[in-house]
Structure 1
């Protein structure tokens, strides 16, 4: 059997694409059953962050450097040894890392040195893999293209594929921010109720994190981490600023700024939360009205392409059938 002809045959390619489509459908429907596993992973990640904060606070109180390295060892264990060796060997931090890389990873939900190493490794290895696969396929595919042209096409595909990790990171960021933004107004309402009931800000955040987990696991994770930072950090404003930085949302940043001012100047936290909750509800209503207003222009193209032709067929078809019937039988017999 000629494997080259088999790999380049249209039937084989169609079968492979069909298998990939079926796998994507199964993965899409099966991903809803792994929510508990994802939530367990997030809880473990927050626990590691809490251990790190506790170790730093204990080292600060003792007046020494960071003496507890167990959390660092746990984070380094998340990264494969070969990834770390490649990143350090080729000095990929200078090539791919800038001042905003860590913040972008944090906004997407990837914190720690392990995720940074994995991201840098993927930025390096993805174009190489795509170049090898595309070039090998072009050489195996039937055709009379010159060899240098196949290599040029492979290099072009590799350059385009080098942005694949960035695109995936952007998609993860958008998905995470969308989940947090959707649940944030309800979070403010719950925090307002807790604070007005006599709870402190720490206990209110802890309680709201438990309640909001079913609606947005990402926001529950951030609130739990913020609660840990409020317990261990020396400056409370740093915990609020870190939450705003990790989410990257303007409405979260405005609420954190209000809480910082209330904590700094001694104003009422409940009043600040009440004002920000009202603004959050108004913003959510404005977003809903904006989506409703943009619906008619979006429906214009589907209406023209799909609804109107069917409507014309339903209206004109009976008349056309009668016309054809009269033409085929002019005597009426």
Structure 2
């Protein structure tokens, strides 16, 4: 079958373009549904966080057994499998894998609560074992080759050691993606918050409205703002809510704004003025980041330019001359013969 002829046929091209269009349409509508489901799940998790904080505050204020029972009825650990909890407790994985930064890193990745900590510790324990067993099966059974057995086992152990860092890398990747989304939407949040505060809204209502408006651009930041609004409603010390937002995001610009809000709330200064200054700094930082990316573009284009554009340019420029030279040489050879 002539493949070139088949590809150049009009019917084949029409069918291929129709298939590509249908795939793009399905992907577009499917991605919108996935984003809506993700946002709905985030809203449910924030509501669960709010109920937990409500129960904790009620138990602290009342000091009654009824409130303690109410708090114990809200269990986020139900999302964790029983075998995970048993494995974490039996092998004492908290002492082996958990440090003072583990909870903060999970919070930065959007994974909050004891259930997520248990899952993370269980994954860190089982991933190297699973990678080791898979490497042994592949190197010994599937592709043994001419290697001796001890060398295959040594390779498997090395692969298992590398696999032990896989959950850490995945967690860092999730943190970076979440922080990138928050960093892009944060200047817009400051502008919207400034407008709401100057319109006469309180910080709680301003944060609630901004979280609703920013949800389409950054669901991660909308989730954090909604949780901060819940903390402002239930915590006695408002500075704790602002500090928790900076700690959960892990971004310096967010921490700077939260510090300014804490100082304005503590010393009675104008919140609108503080937000105005921080919003101007955020816009300047965004412009500097854009200028930095624009300045780094020419060096990044140098290698693709050399590899792809210059060879084509040389071919286009030199091909006519080479064709004439070879044609003349062939004609002279034929004439001489």
Give me the TM-score of the superposition, normalised by structure 2. Answer: 0.88
In 2, are the aligned partners of 1:131 and 1:158 still within 8 Å (CA)?
yes
Structure 1 residues 209 and 291, CA gap change in structure 2 (3 angstroms): same
CA deviations over 1:71-103 (Å, ceiling 9, x no partner): 665311111111111111100000000000000
Q: Any idea what SS the aligned residue of 1:267 has?
A: coil
Partner of 2:11: none
Partner of 1:125: 126
Query: What are the residue-to-residue correspondences of 1:88-107 with 2, within 5 Å?
Result: 88-107=89-108
Q: CA deviation at 1:33?
A: 4.0
CA deviations over 1:298-318 (Å, ceiling 9, x no partner): 111111111111111111111
In 1, are the aligned partners of 2:59 and 2:71 still within 8 Å (CA)?
no
Q: CA deviation at 1:29?
A: 9.9
CA deviations over 1:261-318 (Å, ceiling 9, x no partner): 0000000000000000000000000000000011111111111111111111111111
In 2, are the aligned partners of 1:206 and 1:227 still within 8 Å (CA)?
yes
In 2, are the aligned partners of 1:51 and 1:71 still within 8 Å (CA)?
no
Query: What are the residue-to-residue correspondences of 1:23-34 with 2, within 5 Å?
Result: 33-34=33-34
Query: What are the residue-to-residue correspondences of 1:93-172 with 2, within 5 Å?
Result: 93-140=94-141, 141-172=143-174
In 1, are the aligned partners of 2:52 and 2:74 still within 8 Å (CA)?
no
In 2, are the aligned partners of 1:87 and 1:117 still within 8 Å (CA)?
yes
Structure 1 residues 189 and 71, CA gap change in structure 2 (3 angstroms): farther
Partner of 2:200: 198
**Separation in 2 of the partners of 1:48 and 1:212?**
21
Partner of 2:235: 233
**Separation in 1 of the partners of 2:195 and 2:293?**
29
**Separation in 2 of the partners of 1:29 and 1:85?**
42
Partner of 1:42: 42
**Separation in 2 of the partners of 1:293 and 1:72?**
56
User: How many correspondences in the alignment?
Assistant: 308
Q: Any idea what SS the aligned residue of 2:210 has?
A: helix
Q: Any idea what SS the aligned residue of 1:330 has?
A: helix
**Separation in 2 of the partners of 1:177 and 1:317?**
51
- Shifted more, 26-35 versus 307-316: the winner is 26-35
Structure 1 residues 187 and 68, CA gap change in structure 2 (3 angstroms): farther
Partner of 1:4: none
Long gaps (5+) in structure 2: 1-25
In 1, are the aligned partners of 2:54 and 2:234 still within 8 Å (CA)?
yes
**Separation in 1 of the partners of 2:58 and 2:254?**
30
Partner of 1:304: 306
Structure 1 residues 31 and 93, CA gap change in structure 2 (3 angstroms): farther
- Shifted more, 180-189 versus 57-66: the winner is 57-66
Long gaps (5+) in structure 1: 1-25
**Separation in 1 of the partners of 2:283 and 2:316?**
45
Give me the TM-score of the superposition, normalised by structure 1. Answer: 0.89
**Separation in 2 of the partners of 1:27 and 1:148?**
48
**Separation in 2 of the partners of 1:72 and 1:38?**
26
Structure 1 residues 96 and 301, CA gap change in structure 2 (3 angstroms): same
Across the aligned residues of Structure 1 and Structure 2, the Cα RMSD in angstroms comes to 1.9
**Separation in 1 of the partners of 2:72 and 2:50?**
9
